Structure formats: structure tokens, C-alpha cells
Structure 1
Amino acid sequence: MPNQKILYVTTEMFPYQEESNMAMMVNKMALKMHQEGNDVRVFMPRFGLISERKFQLHEVIRLSGMNIIINDLDQPLIIKVASLPGERLQVYFIDNEEYFKRKQYYFDDNGESFSDNDERAIFFARGVIETIKKLNWVPDIIHINGWMASFIPIYLKNYYKTDSYFSDTKIVLSMYNEKDALFEDNIKEKLEFDNIKDLKALENPTFQNFVVESMKLVDTVVKGDEFLEENLDKAYEESDTKKFDYVSGDSINEVY
């Protein structure tokens, strides 16, 4: 169905990342829906590995001046934008020197997960939500891709639960086999600062468990990888949320 406003929130997208299934899937889904006449926008983190010069990113001045408070610390929110190479499809990048300048994604050169991955996810989720509101653009569908993006439904259903801006928006979550890691113990305090409590994921706060937590809060769950790891597949099978087995990027409109 054309003429829908569709927001893809992702941590990976081709050509900004080239090797993962998620990056290719998001590229295919966004292009497919864009070419069918929908108003499509993509939001992702501006990881330090993404070349601003190569992909012609530039700061959106009219969206500047916003700050996000994370655990009582004021962090400036910088929004950059680029067109997907060869397409009239806008990709917005959530940026912040403290969280996204480093030249790795979630793990340091020794394979250790960053101690502030929780803050980075909170900043990204709230940054996307606040930027969409400032754009005065209400999506019909938000399609979540990647563990970091899974914080968005958690925030929408808790921190923003009295905000009617997204009340008619349908949320779709794609599940992928991503490298898992444990958050620091103080993630509970950081979420409680935003009045988010009683999450089952906090019993064992890992990337994957936050994805599983968000499954309960969305309208539809889709397998982003055809075969999920055992614990993800178990959560998928046990979920009461409306489900679609693996759907290729070219046929994603079946889900919407």
C-alpha cells in the first residue's frame, strides 16, 4: 500500500556497513517501499567507521540545539543527513562525540564490550524519537532493526507513554543473530532515572534480552535472519505478538 510514512530505525545499512545480512535487508526494505511511492526515512547511529566525506553527510542545522539527558548528564544531540547513494532517500544519522566517535561499534579491539553501550542505546533511542517529533513527521510504521534500536519500543511504551504523538503508529521488529554481550550492572539505575522499571530483561541485562523484551511491546515481529540462534528462536516461537517468518527485503510489504 503506497503513501505510507515508514521509518526504519537500524544500526546497520548498506552501503554504510557492507557485510551483514541486517545491512542488506534494511537497504532492500527501505528502497522497495520508497520505490513503491511511500515516504520513507531511515535513522541510524553515526558510528565513527562511517566516512562523512565518502557518503556526503552534513549536519542539519535546523535540528541542532537539542540535548538528551542521560543519567543526569546533558549530552548534545547532533543530527546529520545524507541521501542513499544514487537514490532520493534520506538517511538521518544520530551523532554525539562521546558515544559515536570511536572507530568500533560495540566492542573494543580486545573484544570487550564498551561499558557505556547502555547509555549509547538510550541516547540513540531518545534521539530518534525527539528528532522525529521536531521534524513534525508522524510515521505510520516504525520498523526496528538491531539490538540498539530495540530500546525505542521500551521508551515509547514507558517514558513516552502519555505522549500521543505516536499513538497511531504501528511498530514492527525484525530479529537478527547479533553478537551478544552483558550490560554493566548500573543500567538499572540509568533506566530508573527515566522512570523505566520492572523489565524482565534487567534480571540478565544483555543485548538479546532487550530485543526479547521489546518483542512484547511491538505490533509485529519478523525474522530478519532465516534461522535464528536457539534462544532467540525460542523467544520468537513463544511470543504472543503477531509473527511473520523470514520475509525477504523484496516482499516486506506483506508485513505492512
Structure 2
Amino acid sequence: MAKEAEPAKKAAPAAKEAEPAKKAAPTAKKAEPAKKTASTAKKAEPAKKTAATKKKAASADKRKAKAPVVEPESTPAVAEPAPVMEEPNLPRRSVAFIGSECHPFVKTGGLGDVMYALPRELARLNCDVRVILPRYACIPQEYQNKMIYRGEFYMDLGNTGRSYYVGIMEYIWDGVVYDFIDNEEFFSWGNPYTNLVDDIPKYCFFSKAALAALNYMNWIPDVVHCHDWQAALVPVYLRTLFKDSPVGRARSVITIHNLRFQGVYNIPTIKYWSGLPDEAFGMGALKQDWVEANMLKGGLAYADRITTVSGTYAWEIQTSEYGERLEDHLRYHSHKLRGIVNGIDYGMWNPETDPALAENYSLGNVLDHKMANKLALQKELGLEQDTGKFVIGLISRLTNQKGLDLVNAIVPQVLDGNTQVVVLGTGDKQYEDAFRAYEGSYKGTFSACIQYDEGRAHRIYAGADALLVPSRFEPCGLTQLNAMHYGTLPIVRETGGLKDTVEPYNEFNGEGNGFTFDRYDAGLLLDAINRAKSLYFNNRYHWDEVVQRDMAKDVSWEKSARQYKDLYLELTQW
């Protein structure tokens, strides 16, 4: 077993905190130039399989080529801007966001949007924010070229008997510092997520390296905020191996974006790669089913606060229907569980300035310009060009979770001659093939775009009259928020964040901002669609009222960011 890395004060001369100097902290020892060749290996495994010296040297050369030194005048984006503090009178807190993806560097789902937008909004609320991410090889080169080198060190990992290279590359943008953990051995894959066999070692390394990097940089946050199972070991490390290091005084928050994904593997493997003490593998922490370890379960046990991305989802995951076998664990920790709805970034999603649209519009002129976007969308997708048609959009991963089995069952009944349907997304082959078949059978009425095209997604939000989100479960959901902001009415199932953000339209008093159904049933979905069509065709004045009400609704990150800031203040009272 490798000896623990030495205290942070040896990793960086500036990092001399008033901490017990003799206590071993799992941070890192300073890398020496002569040892740079030990930075990577082909596969993370015990020391006896370490690559030959020649391969190490080649790997180091490759790393140097990957992290070019960029001249300051050619990269104004990395010059540190003036702090963005729109409300400087608020108490200041420092927060480290740790997660596996972040727009625009790498994004596979809603987590990437949250990791991008929430830190920027917190910076405006007088928070000092850093975002720590893996430096994946798939990050676009335009961002790789603008990263600046912050330092490197070596860190032991679990029971591997080896020291692993940890490089830190930095990118500063709009008041937020992005630090990328560099190690080709773990992050040279084409995609951020591959399979559990490779992902377990990768994210054990990342979680430990993120905390060690904070010690190395001598930037100790008040709060460490980690996201999903990929960063779930951060609170566990913080209270065990790092408890006597400078970063050990930080409080921890973990956010569940989707409880279905938990990082479950056998105990020996996770113990081997993590190096966590035996007490972390008790039934109240990582252990599950006596023989498996659950990384998310451990993070929930050790974190000071747990958040989910909507209030309804926070309640749902404590039930057997939605708890994904962690409902008992979550009920036990319910005293530290909060639900905070996500927002959308108005800089990215704004029909008034969106360059992807045929015609821009705002709340004041939406009724004049939305039809032009409908005609442009119909032309782009080969649909019959007719503003009198009711256009339904569906932008989603094509999986059962998203309610696609319900949609597939009712398409023939929805296409009544006055309705058009547009589907955008990729996923399970059965749904991709089914929607392609519908496109072939209903030419000019049904469009299946089996791809993900960001620009086309914007044009569907602007050109459609309604958007379907019939999810089996939905922690928060962003598509319904985007739709409302673009004046497109959501048709959703009452679950998770959909229930929290969409109020059903009431035909008697005119209140509400969308159409909903409760039980997971294709007939109820069809009924909600028919109610929307009835209002559209029979009472356009009231339909237009709801369109304007939705566009006026504040779905930005401002309110959510204030709730997170209050949570940080609650955790760090002094």
C-alpha cells in the first residue's frame, strides 16, 4: 500500500496553514521535473504493471504537447476579470463545485447546464466560486488552448501502491475559475462516461485529486458542493482521509440530479481504488446488499446537506416508487434534504436575442412573430406550411424514463389532420425506429429528427405551439422551462420538477401555465393533448394569454441561486 501523500505545505510553499504539521494529509507531494515521466500509464492498475520508462517518457511528451503555453495577449479569456459582484453587501462565501461535466466544455445532460449556470449566478451574489472538472480529451481544442498551467503533483491512490500524476489547468471566464484535473491515464477516453469498470477508478481518482488540488493551490473553500455519483466520494474523503488537512474544515453539499445512477460495484474494487477506511464501508454508508458498495449512498451519508433539483422530487425519492432502493437511507437523512428547482440561463435561452431563430421576439411582440418561426420550422423539416396547424414538439432522450412508450402508443390518434408532431433526440433503437416509421407513414405531418442539434432545438422551442414532457419521473426538467420562456406551452406529467413548475390550466378562471396529467397512462396523456388543442382552436384569446403569462414567468437561475446561497450561509454560520 502506498504511503499517504505529504501535507499540503510541501506541495506548495504558499500553502502553510496553521495545521498540525506532522499529521499526514492525503494531499500531494510536489512533483519534481525529473519525475515528470511518471505522470501517466496506459491503464490504472497496481504498481507491478507500471509501464516501462520509455512509455512514460512518451506519455509525458504527449502531455506537454496537450497543454501548450499560451501567450497572454493571444488569450484574453484567461486573464482574470474583475470580480462579478452585483450585490456586494451580501455575506461572502467561497464555494468549490466538483462535478463530472460542465457546459461548454463537456455536456451530456442537465448536470452540464447546472454546473455552468449556477456558479455564474452565485458569483453575482458575492460568492467566490471555483469549478473543478476532469480534463477530458473530448473537451474542444478551443478551450484546451486557452487553459493555463497552475501546477502538478503526485498523489497515492487506494491500495494500488503507486503515485499518480495530477496536473492542474485553469480557465477563467465571467467571474468563475475553472480548474481541470489532468491525467491522461484516466481522462484520455473519447467520452466522459464509458462503463463502470473504467469509471469507478476514474472517479475515485478525480474525487481525491480534486480535494488534494484545493490543498495544493492553498484555496480552501467554505463549502464543497459536489454533484451526482461521480463526485459522491468527495464528502467521504473530506471526513476521513482529508479531515486533518486544510480542506478538511470545509462543509459539504451533494446534489442528486438523477437518483437512478449511483456508482454501485463490489466492495473490494471500490476499497482498492478509493483507499477509504473500513468504517466508511458500513451499512449506514457505502455498503449495500452486504457485498456491494454504493458511492452515492456513501456521499449522502457523509455530506452535511443533500439537495435535489426540485421539491417534489425530494419527496418522491423517499418513496419506494422513486427511491431506487435508497428510499430508507434518504428518509433517515431527510433532516438534511432540500429541494431547489433549477433555472435556465437567459444568456443561452432568450428568444429576443437567439441567433438560431428565423425571427426574434419578446414578451411584447410574441404574438406577431411566433407564427413566422412556425412557418420557418415547417419549411426546415418538410412539413406542410400552415400557421393553422397545431405543432407539438418533443425534445428528449428517447428512453422509457422520458415517457416515450406513452407517446408511441398515441401518435396515430394525435395526428388528426390539424396537428403536426416534431421529435428531436436520440436514444433507444425501438423508439428511433418507431418515430422514423411514423415519419414515413405521415409525410408532411410527422418529423423525426433522430439526432441532437442545439440550433434546431432552439427553433423547435420557438416554432412549436406546445411541448410534450410526459416523463415517468423527472428530477427537475429543463425543457419545460425553455419552452415557457419561448412562449410554447408545456404538456407534462405531474412528477418531480414538472409538477413544481407547471400549473395546470383551469378553464373556469383562466389560471395556470400548461396542461398536465397525473397517472402514467397513455389515455391521460392523450386527454391532456386534446385539452390543449381545444383551447388553441376554440379560444385563441385565452391561449395567447397563457403564452404571454409563460414568457413573463421568471424561470432564471436568480431565485434558485439565492436559495443555494442561503443554504451555504446556514452551513457556515460564524
Gaps of 5+ in 1: 108-112
Q: 1:159 aligns with which of 241, 260, 266?
A: 241
CA–CA distance in structure 1, aligned partners of residues 124 and 144 of structure 2: 21
Q: Which residue of 1 aligns with 2:305?
A: 220
Q: 2:129 aligns with which of 13, 19, 40?
A: 40
How far off its partner does 1:41 sit? 0.5
RMSD: 2.6
CA–CA distance in structure 1, aligned partners of residues 139 and 191 of structure 2: 10
The one-letter code of the counterpart of 2:236 is: I
CA–CA distance in structure 1, aligned partners of residues 215 and 189 of structure 2: 28
CA offsets 1:130-151 (integer angstroms, 9 cap, x no match)? 1101111111111111212111
Q: Which residue of 2 aligns with 1:110?
A: none
What does 1:137-148 correspond to in 2, within 5 Å? 137-148=219-230
**Residue 225 of structure 2 aligns to a residue in which SS?**
strand
Which structure carries more relative contact order (alpha carbon 8 Å, separation 6+)?
1
The one-letter code of the counterpart of 1:48 is: A
Distance 1:36 1:192, change over 3 A: closer
Q: State yes or no: 1:176 paired with 2:176.
A: no
**Residue 138 of structure 1 aligns to a residue in which SS?**
coil
Q: State yes or no: 1:246 paired with 2:337.
A: no
How far off its partner does 1:17 sit? 3.1
The one-letter code of the counterpart of 2:254 is: L
The one-letter code of the counterpart of 2:175 is: R
Distance 1:196 1:152, change over 3 A: farther
Q: Which has the larger radius of gyration?
A: 2
CA–CA distance in structure 2, aligned partners of residues 82 and 159 of structure 1: 28
Q: Which residue of 1 aligns with 2:184?
A: 97
Q: State yes or no: 1:236 paired with 2:548.
A: no
Stretch moving more, 65-74 or 33-42: 65-74
Moved over 4 A (4+): 191-194
CA offsets 1:4-52 (integer angstroms, 9 cap, x no match)? 1111111121222345121112222201111122211010111222124
How far off its partner does 1:106 sit? 2.6
User: Aligned pair count?
Assistant: 245
Distance 1:138 1:193, change over 3 A: closer
How far off its partner does 1:168 sit? 3.6
Q: Is the 8 A contact 1:68 1:77 kept in 2?
A: no
The one-letter code of the counterpart of 1:216 is: A
Distance 1:41 1:191, change over 3 A: same
Distance 1:59 1:116, change over 3 A: farther
Distance 1:74 1:241, change over 3 A: farther
Q: State yes or no: 1:73 paired with 2:155.
A: no
CA offsets 1:88-143 (integer angstroms, 9 cap, x no match)? 31111112111010012232xxxxx2423222122111211111011111111111
Distance 1:56 1:232, change over 3 A: farther
- The structure with the greater share of residues assigned to helix is 2
Q: Is the 8 A contact 2:227 2:255 kept in 1?
A: yes
The one-letter code of the counterpart of 1:95 is: D
How far off its partner does 1:57 sit? 4.4
Stretch moving more, 28-37 or 239-248: 239-248
CA offsets 1:192-219 (integer angstroms, 9 cap, x no match)? 745344513243546xx31122112111
Stretch moving more, 177-186 or 144-153: 177-186
Over the matched positions of the two proteins, sequence identity in percent amounts to: 18
Q: TM-score, normalised by structure 2?
A: 0.39
**Residue 208 of structure 2 aligns to a residue in which SS?**
helix
CA–CA distance in structure 2, aligned partners of residues 185 and 142 of structure 1: 26
Stretch moving more, 127-136 or 9-18: 9-18
Gaps of 5+ in 2: 1-89, 344-556, 569-574
Distance 1:37 1:123, change over 3 A: same
**Residue 167 of structure 2 aligns to a residue in which SS?**
strand
CA–CA distance in structure 2, aligned partners of residues 181 and 127 of structure 1: 18
CA–CA distance in structure 2, aligned partners of residues 193 and 168 of structure 1: 21
Q: Is the 8 A contact 1:172 1:220 kept in 2?
A: yes
